[in-house]
Amino acid sequence: MRLSNFQLNHKGIPAMHATRKLWTWLAVICVLSFAVLGWVGTEIYLTAPPIPKQVVSTKGAVLFSEGQVQLGQEAWLSAGGQQLGSVWGHGSYVAPDWSADWLHREALALRAVWSQRDFGKPFDQLSVGQQAELSARLKSEMRRNTYDASTGIITLSPERAEAVAQVAAHYVGLFGSDPSLDKLREQYAMNAGSLPDALDLQALPAFIFWSAWSAATDRPGETDLSYTSNWPHEPLVDNTPTAGAGIWSIASIIFMIAAIAGMIFHHSTAKEEGDPTPPKSDPLFDLKPTPSMKATRKYFYVVIGLILVQIGMGAITAHYAVEGQSFFGFPLAQILPYTVSRTIHTQFAVLWIATAWLATGLYIAPAISGHEPKYQKLGVDVLFYALLFIVVGSTAFGWLGSLQHLGNSFSFWIGNQGLEFTSMGRVWQVLLFVGLLFWVTLLGRGLWPALKTPSESRGLIAMVFLAALCIGGFYATSLTWGPHTHYSMIEYWRWWLVHLWVEGFFEVFATAVIALLFTRLGLIRASTANSAIVLETIVFLFGGILGTLHHLYFTGTPTFVIAIGAMFSALEVVPLAMIGVEAYRNYQRSKSAPWVQAYKWSILCFIAVGFWNVVGAGLLGFTINTPIALYYLQGLNMTAAHGHAALFGVYGMLGIGLLLFCLRGLSDRAAWSDKLLAPMFWSLNIGLAMMVFISLVPAGVYQAWASITQGMWFARSPAVVHSHFMETLVWMRVPGDVVFSVGALFLAWFAVRLLTGGKRAQLAALPVASANRA
């Protein structure tokens, strides 16, 4: 959305009136979208795959007893959960997708049992006709729904029960310590004895069986439509995409193209209003930081520390994809297993990005309102130490809990919940939620005078504040599930948080904060930016709120989730396309007056935000977005490519740009070194592009081929993940990773120099000052 050329006054409507109308529209869209999303939640709750009380064979043997499926879920999450393979496609990439793995193993085992019983030979040695007969029987047996809602019992044939028992034994050995599976565990980057508790170990197969059963069993009254809409791809049991997945994919593409055309039409017909003449000198040059503004400086140093740790953990995690338990021969996994390094890697990404924004909010609030509330500095300091406590505490206890296997309750409450991006134990989540609310309060106090006084930029300030309020408030959704919640519902709520943050409120915060900074610098008109930002938020949230459902196509949800998710998330691409244009405009603005050079690298970071919004979020996001694409690509490296390019490219770059902007006002200008920022900026961006396009995207394409031709189990099997080609691609990450890390080191060097160089500059200035006085 071009902030500067949106026309307020066409048809002669006064600007304020037009903007008020837009705010009303925004409210209506939010209320309606959340009403639909909430209703979808109740439907998911009502129709999710049933959790059986028992799984028995027709001969009466009990395979899994009451409570075991749920205990198995807790046990899996406690052993690392989504950081140790995935279930229904959500999780990490080195170990298998357990649902797909179980399904494949069970199908093969059942076929083998029949083949021996009926023909006395292994399946491979049967005639074509015999094989065809067994294959057909397999499909019908595995798809038939034998769940009895009145008793809560799933009944299996004796042969299938035998196949299930075989696969269960494999899983018990794998998550236990069966030495014959040492090599496989190494390939999966998991340690022996993942589940030392005997009850947990016996229950784990129940949960994995159930996730695979839901994936292949036809829903009541349906044929060829499983609870997970036939995900994962598994030709053995006729798990192939549903017609709806194909139709809604096509419809969503057409819809997106039409919406982009509409947007281009709107922009080309709206009259351009140019940027204002930039001020002669930096309007912020004389800005004197208040005590609370100064207190934010330490936040930025913590941000840089967290970035460095995150990168270190990323390097270790990537290395485990080749050497599953050690680091160049050193048995690192005994103290820092893959599950822990990956948890820290993903959790710290969110934490440092959030910290940079929290600090920026606290820094700009008094600067904008010209008002330093009482005790604000104290508040900023308290929040800082509280956040530090949460980061250190949650990481240490998560790590300890994983190493010591302190049990499922410990994992859920204090340790590592095993859920990607929302991994910290519940106690830490509650503390973080309180911290975020405290942040919003501090921000509100700082901005209050500016919010209550009418001014040209009041709308913009209100939008920044509302986005902050939603970022803080929506964190509450990660407190909704308990240890025994149905997995479909955990996924539903988890994406409320992760998706609504990154594809909703973060986008709003990012655009509003950048626009606000540009208006403060006098480079864009506040009046135009005001309503442009409301319009842009409408477009973001119109697609973004219901777009949440693109994560839930295959997580045991009703089929209409595919339709709504595909159509609305396709709309998310529309504003992103325009953001690229806006980034180019910002580039031009950075050259509009000589003093703007002082903010050059912040502004370039904001331009990079625009670039990665188009490439990382828009392009790579849409690559996996249609149901038919995600059916084959979910949980493979194409998702990782998108995740890296979007999360770091957009929000990481924004965090760094904001950090630079604030540090500019907080530091001695003499100690500022653009010479260090240039290599920082280019290394981070080029490194990211190398990592994504030389390694992750090719790996994603290779796995896509494996998934389409043979099935999801194959794309995540050691045969593919540890193939020569894939391991070479992991090594090809190294150059990009190195270039990227060099960028982070330059940032750290730059920040340290600001501290030490500042003092040196002051010392050097002293004789001059005294000479002047003399």
Q: Where does this chain bind ligand HEM (CB under 6 A)?
A: 89-90, 420, 502-503, 550-551, 569, 572-573, 576, 617-618, 621-622, 624-625, 630, 634, 639-640, 642-643, 646-647, 650-651
Block residue for tokens 């292994």: 122
Residue 274 CB neighbour total at 10 angstroms: 9
516 vs 617, which CB is nearer to ligand HEM?
617
Which residue is nearest to ligand HEM, using beta carbons? 621
Residue 551 vs 733, nearer CB to ligand HEM: 551
Q: Which two tokens stand for residue 419?
A: 């859920």
Tokens representing residue 72 in the block: 């198995």
Q: What single string gives the DSSP state of each residue in 631-685? A: HHHTTSHHHHHHHHHHIIIIIIHHHHHHHHHHHHHHS-GGG--HHHHHHHHHHHH
Residues with Cβ within 8 Å of residue 188, at least 6 apart in sequence: 84, 85, 94, 95, 96, 174, 324, 718
Question: Which among 59, 76, 80, 60 is positioned nearest to 68, based on CA atoms?
Answer: 76
Q: Residue 647 CB, nearest distance to ligand HEM (Å)? A: 4
Comparison of 616 and 711: residue with beta carbon closer to ligand HEM: 616
Contacts of 133 (CB under 8 A, 6+ apart): none
483 vs 616 by CB, closer to ligand HEM:
616
CB-based closest residue to Fe ion: 499
529 is written with which tokens? 């930016």
What lies within 8 Å, CB to CB, of 162 at 6+ separation is 109, 113
Q: Give the nearest distance from C-beta 256 to ligand HEM in angstroms.
A: 9
Q: Cβ of residue 547: shortest distance to ligand HEM, in angstroms?
A: 7
Shorter beta-carbon distance to ligand HEM: residue 170 or 551: 551
Using CA atoms, how far apart are residues 217 and 636, in angstroms rounded to an integer?
A: 24
CB of 503 to Fe ion, least distance (A): 5
> In this structure, are residues 533 and 459 in contact, taking their beta carbons and an 8 Å threshold?
yes
Considering the complex, what minimum distance in angstroms separates the CB of residue 385 from ligand HEM?
A: 28
Other Cβ atoms within 10 Å of 772 Cβ, number: 7
Chain-centroid distance of CA 129 in Å reads 48
CA distance 661 to 363: 10
- Residue 520 interface partner, choices Fe ion, ligand HEM, none, CB cut-off 5-8 Å depending on type: none
At 319, which amino acid appears? H
Picked from Fe ion, ligand HEM, none, the partner binding residue 162 (CB below 5 to 8 A depending on kind) is none
| Nearer to ligand HEM among residue 209 and residue 501 (C-beta) | 501
With CB cut-offs between 5 and 8 Å by kind, which of Fe ion, ligand HEM, none does residue 89 bind? ligand HEM
Q: Which residues pair with 658 in a beta bridge?
A: none
Q: Is 372 or 503 the residue whose CB approaches Fe ion more closely?
A: 503
Give the residue with the Cβ less far from ligand HEM, 528 or 623.
Answer: 623
- Least CB distance to ligand HEM at residue 651 (A): 6
Q: Residue 650 binds which one of ligand HEM, Fe ion, none, with CB within 5 to 8 A depending on kind?
A: ligand HEM
Kindly state the smallest distance separating residue 554's Cβ from ligand HEM, in Å.
9
Rounded Cα–Cα distance for residues 626 and 498 (Å):
19
CA distance 101 to 183: 17
Helix (H, G, I), strand (E, B) or coil at 112: helix
How far is CA 213 from each of CA 36, 103, 364, 694, rounded to the nearest angstrom? 29, 7, 53, 37
| Shortest spacing between CB 85 and Fe ion, in angstroms | 21
Spatial distance between the Cα atoms of 123 and 126, rounded to a whole number of angstroms: 5
What, of ligand HEM, Fe ion, none, does residue 622 touch, CB below 5 to 8 Å by kind? ligand HEM
Least Å distance between CB 416 and Fe ion? Answer: 23
Closest CA to 508 of 477, 530, 540, 481: 540
User: Shortest approach of ligand HEM to residue 579 CB, angstroms?
Assistant: 10
Q: Report the residue number, 229 or 639, with the smaller CB distance to Fe ion.
A: 639
Which residues is 57 bridged to in the sheet? Answer: 156
SS in 3 state form for 349-382?
HHHHHHHHHHHHHHHHHHHHHCCCCCCHHHHHHH
Rounded to a whole number of angstroms, the minimum distance from the CB of residue 274 to ligand HEM is 29
Residue 688 CB, nearest distance to Fe ion (Å)? 20
Please state, in angstroms and rounded to a whole number, the distance separating the CA atoms of residues 235 and 4.
53
Q: Would you give the DSSP letter of residue 502? A: I
Chain contacts with Fe ion (rule: CB under 5 A): 499, 503
How is residue 284 annotated by DSSP? T
Q: Which is nearer to ligand HEM, 172 or 619 (CB)?
A: 619
Residues in the chain: 774
Q: State the binding partner of 339 from Fe ion, ligand HEM, none, CB within 5 to 8 A by kind.
A: none
Tokens representing residue 739 in the block: 């270039």
**Side by side, which strands form the sheet with 54-57?**
62-64, 54-57, 153-156, 147-148
**CA 86 to CA 411: how far, in whole Å?**
18
CA 537, chain centre distance (Å): 20
Binding partner selected for residue 565 from Fe ion, ligand HEM, none, CB under the kind-specific 5 to 8 Å limit: none
CB of 507 vs ligand HEM, minimal distance in Å? 7
CB 79 → ligand HEM: shortest distance, Å?
19
Q: How far is the CB of 545 from Fe ion (least distance, A)?
A: 11
536 vs 572, which CB is nearer to ligand HEM?
Answer: 572
Nearer to ligand HEM, 494 or 585 (CB): 494
Q: Closest distance between Fe ion and the C-beta of residue 227, in Å?
A: 22
- 518 or 622, CB closer to Fe ion? 622
> Smallest distance, Å, CB 340 to ligand HEM?
17
Sequence-separated contacts (24+) of 575-579 with Cβ below 8 Å: 575/1, 575/263, 575/507, 575/536, 575/539, 575/540, 575/543, 576/613, 576/614, 576/617, 576/618, 577/260, 577/263, 577/614, 577/618, 578/1, 578/2, 578/263, 578/267, 579/1, 579/511, 579/610, 579/613, 579/614
Write out the DSSP string of 6-63.
--S-GGG--HHHHHHHHHHHHHHHHHHHHHHHHHHHHHHHHHSPP--SEEEETTS-EE
Query: 22 or 570, CB closer to ligand HEM?
Result: 570
Which residues of 245-381 form beta strands (DSSP E)? none
422 binds, among Fe ion, ligand HEM, none (CB under 5 to 8 A by kind): none
Task: Decide which of Fe ion, ligand HEM, none touches 572; Cβ closer than 5 to 8 Å per partner kind.
Answer: ligand HEM
Contact 189, 83 (CB under 8 A): no
State the binding partner of 647 from Fe ion, ligand HEM, none, CB within 5 to 8 A by kind.
ligand HEM
Closer CB to ligand HEM, residue 234 or residue 420? 420
Residue nearer to Fe ion on the CB measure, 297 or 642:
642
Q: Which is nearer to ligand HEM, 56 or 691 (CB)?
A: 691
Q: Which does 238 bind (CB under 5 to 8 A by kind): ligand HEM, Fe ion, none?
A: none
Please choose which of ligand HEM, Fe ion, none residue 84 contacts, taking the beta carbon within 5 to 8 angstroms, the exact cut-off set by kind: none
